[in-house]
Homo-oligomer: A and B are copies of this chain.
Amino acid sequence: MCRQRRRRLSPPGRWARLWFVSSKKQNKSLPRQNGSEKKPTLRFLAEQLDLTPATISMVVNRAPGAKAIPKHTQRRVLDAAKRFHYRPNFFARSLLRQRTFTIGVLIPEISDGYGAQVMRGIEDHLLQAGYFYFVVSHHHRPDLICEYPRLLLDRSVEGLIAVDTPMEASMQVPVVSVSGHGRVKGITNVVLHHGLAAKLALEHLATLGHRRLAVIKGQEFSSDTEARWNAIRREARRLSLEIDHDLVVALQGDTPSSHLGQEATEKLLASGKPFTALFTFNDLAAIGAIRALRLAGRSVPEDVSVIGFDDIPSAEFHNPPLTTVRQPLATMGEMAAASLLSCLTENRQKRARVIYVDPQLVVRGTTARVGVREIERKRAR
């Protein structure tokens, strides 16, 4: 059956057709009860123009097949598409093409400085490349860490970015980790060069004359905790800095906050062991630590030097401005996104690998030459 022909040949046929069309049209284009106009579909457009959906599709997509459609028909189609604000249904298209241009992002918190910075990099890259993303924050809850990847896969994300989040190997889509837990088969990992970070921080402290160092480690669940601590120990040994067993504590608690750093520091002080420098797992903790030190009557940096980690935006404007090891968090997010997209577009079987990024020491106001009393003590020896 070729409607077009019939129409050309027989006006009555045409009228019949038009009657049919308009009765259908009523069904289709009437505002729905709930008030919002239904979106126009290819078929609706086709009926309006007395063509078939296939034709419309080829024209609006400028598909190769559209070459066979004469210019005036193309214009007719394009005009109608504009007039009715036609936009292709993303889901129908995804269903057919098996592409969704959607990525899932797993992160402990979006709302703290760390997560937010990484997200910025991820977002930048993804949106620019025409991808959208779902974010889910799991607050380190194991049930959510297990469930969310499934839910994201249900929504046909094409890939996953896991920020500071443990992942199993066997996902059906490419996965890139930022600060991932160890090497996992098939997962590309963007991680900081912890060795360099430790070197930068500890050499800085050593140069300032510090010998007795306290350390606040991260929580168990954080991917960086172990690697960083190992790097610190190694570096301390190399520089013959003392790290007393009692002067190493870990952050306790799930929600990122300076309170955790404050509490950890109180433990450190309670040990009674002397220290002149403190290296914390992140800036948030450093800021809390400074408060604890001050409340205990020690001034920063005169009595104790403090080095943070991350360089979150508020570090610079803290009083005194925080000396810290900068992680290029936004860049790491960007790299993760870029790496993931290249997995998707290029040869899919790209080797999983580790991408190292270099930290940077940012010296500000919370580190200083070791205090006078300490110097005197050293001379006495």
Q: Which residues of A contact B (CB under 8 A)?
A: 34-37, 39, 87-92, 94-95, 100, 109-112, 115-117, 119-120, 123, 127, 132-137, 150-151, 153-156, 172-173, 257-258, 287-288, 290-291, 294, 313-314, 316-320, 330, 348-349
Given the complex of chains A and B, what is the CA–CA distance between A324 and B287 in angstroms? Answer: 19
- What is the distance, in angstroms, from A317's C-beta to the closest C-beta of chain B? 4
A91-B123 in contact given A35-B349, A36-B172, A317-B288 (Cβ < 8 Å): no
Q: Which of B92, B110, B153, B314 contacts A314 (CB 8 A)?
A: B314
Whether the pair A110, B90 counts as a contact (CB closer than 8 A) is: no
Given the complex of chains A and B, what is the CA–CA distance between A120 and B35 in angstroms? Answer: 31
Given the complex of chains A and B, what is the CA–CA distance between A11 and B228 in angstroms? Answer: 68
Given the complex of chains A and B, what is the CA–CA distance between A35 and B344 in angstroms? Answer: 12
- What number of copies of this chain does the assembly contain? 2
Neighbouring B residues of A287 by C-beta, 8 Å: 314, 317
Neighbouring B residues of A123 by C-beta, 8 Å: 110, 135-137
Give the 7 A-B CB pairs with smallest separation, nearest first.
A111-B116, A111-B120, A258-B317, A314-B314, A319-B319, A91-B91, A34-B348
Neighbouring B residues of A313 by C-beta, 8 Å: 112, 257-258
Q: Which of B119, B133, B153, B172 contacts A134 (CB 8 A)?
A: B133
CB nearest to A314 among chain B residues? B314
Whether the pair A120, B110 counts as a contact (CB closer than 8 A) is: yes
Neighbouring B residues of A288 by C-beta, 8 Å: 317
Whether the pair A132, B134 counts as a contact (CB closer than 8 A) is: yes
- What is the distance, in angstroms, from A278's C-beta to the closest C-beta of chain B? 16
Sample of 5 A–B contacts (CB below 8 Å): A90-B154, A132-B134, A132-B155, A133-B135, A257-B313
